[in-house]
Amino acid sequence: MRVFLFLFLLFPIIELALLIKVGSAIGVLPTLMLVIGTAVLGSVLLRVAGVATAWRAREKLSRGELPEQEMLEGLLIAVGGGLLLLPGFISDIFGVLCLLPFTRRLLVGKIRRRAEEQALRQRAFFDDQAARTGKTNPNVLEGEYERRD
């Protein structure tokens, strides 16, 4: 958690330093135009990619399937669009990586593998606790019943 906090505080400083460097290299007006252009591009890409993902999710739902891939892609599209709307070049790079279909599918695959590994670890820990206590399900009472009206 400390690393995340450190990066959260360090990120704006790095973005600002890069904006100053680019502004001194190409000028203030072209730098502002780049920042505004990436924000506009981000909003357009967010709309196009979001609509396409929503249609794919709707098609899966109509076939009776769960759209887990589309849900994760939609999350990454929202994150990528938000990063493109932020002023700065580093956030723009990460935003484009989230919006490009090839890299988005790679990121979704990594997220899914990590979630599956986490679920396996939690399940193994729970099974280990149940084995140690000797109780598998303490709220279950075995018996027979008969309904009479």
Provide the whole-model pTM: 0.69
pLDDT at 39: 86
CA distance linking residue 70 with residue 18, whole number of Å: 34
pLDDT at 44: 86
Residue-wise pLDDT tens digits, 109-128: 998 899 888 888 877 666 65
Residue-wise pLDDT tens digits, 76-85: 888 888 888 8
* Regions of the chain with pLDDT less than 70: 124-138, 140-141
pLDDT at 128: 57
CA distance linking residue 131 with residue 38, whole number of Å: 55
Instruction: For tokens 């589309």, name the residue.
Output: 70
Residues in the chain: 149
CA distance linking residue 90 with residue 13, whole number of Å: 11
Q: Is residue 46 within 8 Å of 84, Cβ to Cβ?
A: yes
CA distance linking residue 84 with residue 79, whole number of Å: 9
pLDDT at 1: 73
pLDDT at 125: 66
pLDDT at 14: 92
